[in-house]
Amino acid sequence: MTSSTDRNTEAMAGTPPARRSAWTTRQKCIRLLWGTFGRAAWWIPALRVPTLRMFGGRVGRGCNLPRKVELTIPWNITLGDRVFIGERAILYSLGPITVGSDVVIEVRAHLCAGSHDMRDTRFPLTRPPITIGDRCHIGIDAYIAPDVELGEDCRVMHRASVYSSQPAGSTLAGNPAKPVEGGA
């Protein structure tokens, strides 16, 4: 009888499964341009919104985009009006990230619209969307997982990790985030 460890060792000894890029050649070229020229232009505050739009992002009026923010795939970003994004926030936009109007995304918050299918030995890229409703507040160092939709007026407390969609008006805290009675 073979143990689980022996079976895993045998499986790993064979040829690894074939993998291919999730990105087209065109997308790779645009990502290269974003990583070089787009990032260089990002240092000039007046060029941030036009640069993001030039790379396919959709940005409403009155948005605050700090110098030290990570935007992975600009054409997957949609921001409503008056969105405030804090320094060092991460919008890991492998999939679409849609943010409503009057939203605050605090310092070091992480919106992660990308992962891998861990059930497949090739670990293919998945790009589930994230949708943040109007007037939401994402706290400092909070994490929003792939495929999460937050309804309007949600509050995600500092350092909370949200792994499932939540209805409008929710106040969430903890890891995994759970609704807080009374809105903390």
Domain membership of residue 50 (yes or no) is no
Least confident piece of the model among 1-5, 18-22, 36-40, 44-48: 1-5
What pLDDT was estimated at residue 21?
78
Query: Domain of 86: which CATH number?
Result: 2.160.10.10
Q: In the Cβ-directed half-sphere of 74, how many Cα atoms lie within 13 Å?
A: 25
Residue 170 to residue 166: CA distance in whole angstroms: 7
Residue 149 included in any domain: yes
> 102 by DSSP, 3-state: which?
coil
Give the domain range for residue 84: 57-183
What is the DSSP secondary-structure string of 83-144?
-EE-TT-EEE-SS-EEE-SS-EE-TT-EEE--EE-TTSTT--EE---EEE-TT-EEPTT-EE
Whether residue 147 is contained in a domain is answered as: yes
Q: What is the pLDDT of residue 182?
A: 66
148 has pLDDT over 80: yes
Amino acid occupying residue 25: T
Confidence of residue 167 (pLDDT cuts 50, 70, 90): very high
Element (H, E) at 53: helix 48-54
pTM comes to 0.86
The reply to whether 8 falls in a domain is no
Our count of domains for the chain comes to 1
**Confidence check: pLDDT of 51 > 70:** yes
In angstroms, how far is the first alpha carbon of the chain from the final one? Answer: 56
